[in-house]
Structure 1
Amino acid sequence: MSDFIAEADGKLLHSHGLDRFDALWALPLEAVDEPNTGRGGWSRVFRLDLDGQGFYLKRQANYLTRTLRRPLGEPTFAREFRNIDHYRKLAIPALQAVYYGQRQVDGELRAMLMTRALDGWTDLDGLLAQWAILTAAQHRAIVRACGELARTLHDAGQVHGCFYPKHIFLRASGDRYLAQLIDLEKTRPLLFGQRDRVRDLEPLLRRAGAWGAGDVRGFLAAYLNVPGDSAQVDAWVARLGRRRSHKETR
């Protein structure tokens, strides 16, 4: 795989001498997390700011995932990058890749993935923690944005696989909210119709403890693009309730 550099960011990286793998790898940066170890290697995330724009640069070495297609393994970032690019082509709102590259160096398979920082966006977890002090209008706008995001995702034939509040980022825009997804490592095609849809949505509703029954109905109304008092929403509330009960009694 050749290096990827987003057209919109190529000049910026070039102006800082960072449009080459070795330069990005050697750049001194402060990590924002503890290293993930295992899989025979390590992986870590760093913050990078260039001319007032924020980015996250992820580096890893010998941190591989193995599949039937790639039994010898590949960097986990390779799969994540492909999924980011796939979402872009399908017009599913999600984080944006700026750079991807990998190299074999001194017996290590190194990989880097750089994405735009979501500065100005807040994850749904953070908004749920403030739910009691947000207005009813904000509640409706947030719930609707999440439902529309889920509809866009599933209508494009994709299952996120980790559709949790911490992976949904939102930003106020006038009287509405925009929403997008992060953490695309487990995404896959939607193959089993309603079953896949229910399994993708139920974890979100189980974790969104601040949402009341009205919020859940509002989310499903936006997801189904129907009125909140429709029989379709009733049916989905029941389906998701059965799924939740099954999960909690396992």
Structure 2
Amino acid sequence: MIDFLAAEDRALLERHGLGTFDTLWAKQLKAVDEPNTGRGGWSSVFRLDLEGRGYYLKRQSNYLTRTLHSPLGEPSFAREFRNIRRYRKLGIPALQAAFFGERKVEGEVRAILLTRALDGWDDLDSLLQRWSDLSAAQQSAILKACGQLALRLHGVRQVHGCFYPKHIFLQATGDGYRARLIDLEKTRPMLFGRRDRVRDLEPLLRRAPEWRESQLHELLAVYLEQPSNSSRVGRWVSRLTARRSLKETR
């Protein structure tokens, strides 16, 4: 079986004897949280630091999901890895893979996905927790970055499926913020146009109660490439808030 090993990470991993599936599987590390169980197996995440570069090493056993690509089931990391590569090909800013491989060992299906840590980035969820402490300029720059990220995603007809604050990472730059996505397992092609776009964006708004309506206008103005006081932006705010209200009452 052919594994993926990113050219940019090969030398570093091989210097530490971690350039193969077996060595990454055997590496003893402390899990960053409790393993996910279900689907007949388990999935766990570990932090790996090598010479000042951080990674997240994800391993799973018999943790399968059924897709159109594999109706009988495949490791969920296989789907996420395909989506990571798709995002890179389409130019959507997202996490980057350093290694991927899968094995069948005496009936056990194992998979490894090694991704580069987004050190120096903050997830939007943590920024929202201190939203009132940020300056108006910082808030505006974050809203702009989120709107641009959503525009880029949907502009190439992809739906993230979990467009939540904890999956959007931001890094301050000289003149604002840049943003990228993680957790791509549920990504799929856009099939239903505006309906898919609304469904993808609404969970973000529902999980960002710190945003005032004027700030929703600001984000959507970037996303729709329209003035914030345009009727089109107003209609989108109405659609999204109506869907949010519906979800919150269920």
For normalisation by structure 1, the TM-score amounts to 0.97
In the alignment, the residues of structure 2 paired with residue 199 and residue 143 of structure 1 have an alpha-carbon distance, to the nearest angstrom, of 19
In the TM superposition, residue 173 of structure 1 has moved relative to its aligned partner by 0.3
SS of 2:7's equivalent in the other structure is: coil
SS of 1:199's equivalent in the other structure is: helix
Amino acid paired to 2:154? H
SS of 2:104's equivalent in the other structure is: strand
In the alignment, the residues of structure 2 paired with residue 113 and residue 129 of structure 1 have an alpha-carbon distance, to the nearest angstrom, of 30
In the TM superposition, residue 248 of structure 1 has moved relative to its aligned partner by 2.9
- Residues 93 and 68 of structure 1: is their aligned pair in 2 closer, same or farther, counting only changes over 3 Å? closer
Q: What pairs up with 1:2-151 in 2 under 5 angstroms?
A: 2-151=2-151
Aligned counterpart, 1:234: 234
In the alignment, the residues of structure 1 paired with residue 169 and residue 151 of structure 2 have an alpha-carbon distance, to the nearest angstrom, of 16
In the alignment, the residues of structure 1 paired with residue 139 and residue 12 of structure 2 have an alpha-carbon distance, to the nearest angstrom, of 38
Task: Tell me, yes or no, if structure 1 residue 158 matches structure 2 residue 164.
Answer: no
SS of 2:184's equivalent in the other structure is: coil
In the alignment, the residues of structure 2 paired with residue 62 and residue 249 of structure 1 have an alpha-carbon distance, to the nearest angstrom, of 37
In the alignment, the residues of structure 2 paired with residue 248 and residue 45 of structure 1 have an alpha-carbon distance, to the nearest angstrom, of 31
In the alignment, the residues of structure 1 paired with residue 182 and residue 115 of structure 2 have an alpha-carbon distance, to the nearest angstrom, of 10
Structure 2 residue runs of 5 or longer lacking an equivalent are none
Aligned counterpart, 1:213: 213
In the TM superposition, residue 68 of structure 1 has moved relative to its aligned partner by 4.3
- Residues 68 and 88 of structure 1: is their aligned pair in 2 closer, same or farther, counting only changes over 3 Å? closer
In the alignment, the residues of structure 2 paired with residue 216 and residue 150 of structure 1 have an alpha-carbon distance, to the nearest angstrom, of 13
Aligned counterpart, 1:200: 200
In the alignment, the residues of structure 2 paired with residue 12 and residue 114 of structure 1 have an alpha-carbon distance, to the nearest angstrom, of 13
Give the count of matched residue pairs: 250
Structure 1: 4+ residue segments shifted above 3 A = none
Q: Name whichever of 10-19 and 66-75 sits farther off.
A: 66-75
Q: Deviations over 1:4-39 (max 9, x none)?
A: 011111111111111111111111111101111111
In the alignment, the residues of structure 2 paired with residue 174 and residue 23 of structure 1 have an alpha-carbon distance, to the nearest angstrom, of 40
In the alignment, the residues of structure 2 paired with residue 78 and residue 3 of structure 1 have an alpha-carbon distance, to the nearest angstrom, of 11
In the TM superposition, residue 158 of structure 1 has moved relative to its aligned partner by 0.3
Structure 1 residue runs of 5 or longer lacking an equivalent are none
Q: Deviations over 1:154-196 (max 9, x none)?
A: 0011001111111100010012001000111111111111111
For normalisation by structure 2, the TM-score amounts to 0.97
Amino acid paired to 1:132? S
In the alignment, the residues of structure 1 paired with residue 112 and residue 8 of structure 2 have an alpha-carbon distance, to the nearest angstrom, of 18
Q: Deviations over 1:60-100 (max 9, x none)?
A: 11111123442321111100100111101000000000000
